[in-house]
Amino acid sequence: MKKYRFAFLLFTLLCNTTSYAQEFYLKAGIGYSFPMPGQKVDQNGNVLNGTLTQLGSGVSAYQLKSASFSAGLQNSFSAGLQLSKNIAVELATNINTAAVTYTETLNGLTNSNGVVYNYQGTRQAKNTTLILPSMVLQTAKAKWNAYMRMGLTLPVLSGIKLNETYIYQTGIANQYSWNIRNYFSAGFASAAGVKIRVSKKVELWSEASMIYLNLSRKIRVLESAVVDGQNVPVGQLTGVTTYHYHINGTSDLSGNQQALPQPYSSLGINAGISYDLKAEHRKKKK
């Protein structure tokens, strides 16, 4: 019964578009996104943000925090079409202009030769850019309106910079810088907010938003290395310098590994301005 009621409501709203002077509008905004709670380790238990210390005899101490590679300062730009008083469609571009840097610290590790070392890895998203096509449902009051936005999250840029440092008890520190690229995958986006009309063409808006998105690694390429304090060309290094990640396949010692999802889900607070491209935006056709 609820499905029929929703379908009838949506049909009624769509019917109103035939008597409404459809218009385009532009939006720009700024905001900040926070990691979704619970995103602390990957599926293999590897730390994304925090410290893990091996104390011996199988005992570990850890302090973990949430992480998301879409968190940080956001700039958004949107174009929309108002289909009726209550319905609009939008196409937004969301750019992470100041991504959060996450640090993974592992202490008291032992390599295959029995040498004890500490590890530190820093990860930062590189200008994560998301395209958000969505439908907007809103009230139809004159001065202010509440609205809800729902749609897809389509990643355009989603690379990650990984810097690794291995510090040995001998005092030697080796550093490696990697570039990570991800597989494409669609996610979900939603928001709820309020907009206030300040003139015939201008509205101010503020919203709380959510992005649900996980992206798996596709390839990890070594860009630079410092070994024993000396810069070493990547081509002169022994061992694997390019890792390929497969959603279905096998893992081996030649650089083929399982593709694990990385968290891009986040909660955000945003505000900005909207500009109608038509002044007589609420006039109906006679």
Q: Which of 46-60, 86-100, 162-176 has the highest mean pLDDT?
A: 86-100
Mean pLDDT of the residues in the chain: 88
Q: Which residues contact 25 (CB under 8 A, 6 or more apart)?
A: 79, 80, 81, 82, 88, 274, 275, 276, 277
Using one digit for the tens of pLDDT, what is the confidence trace for 90-112?
A: 999 999 999 999 999 999 998 88
CA-wise closest residue to 224 among 181, 165, 167: 165
Structural domain count, the chain: 1
Cβ 115 vs Cβ 147: under 8 Å: no
Q: How far apart (Å, rounded) are the C-alpha atoms in residues 232 and 267?
A: 41
284 located within any domain? no
Query: Do the domain assignments include residue 89?
Result: yes
Alpha-carbon separation of residue 98 from 30, 126, 127, 128, 175 (angstroms): 12, 9, 8, 9, 24
Residue 247 has pLDDT above 80, yes or no: yes
Residue 285 is predicted with a pLDDT of 44
Instruction: Give the pLDDT score at 20.
Output: 55
* 87 located within any domain: yes
According to the model, what pLDDT value does residue 48 have? 85
The CA–CA distances, whole Å, from 234 to 119, 160, 166, 224, 240 equal 20, 19, 17, 6, 10
Q: Determine the structural domain holding residue 162 and report its residue range.
A: 22-276
Q: Where does the pLDDT of residue 189 fall: very low under 50, low under 70, confident under 90, or very high at 90 and above?
A: very high
Specify if 86 maps to a domain: yes
- Beta-ladder partners of 193: 147, 207
Counting every residue written for the chain, the total comes to 286
**Least reliable range by pLDDT among 43-52, 115-124, 190-199, 240-249:** 43-52
Tell me if 70 sits within 8 A of 265, measured CB to CB: yes
Q: How far apart are CA 72 and CA 184, in angstroms?
A: 21
pLDDT band at 46; cut points 50, 70, 90: confident
Span 173-185, average pLDDT: 96
Q: Is residue 9 part of a domain?
A: no
Q: At 42, which CATH number?
A: 2.40.160.20
In a domain, 139, yes or no: yes
pLDDT at residue 229, as a whole number: 86
Q: Is 153 a domain residue?
A: yes
Is 6 among the domain residues? no
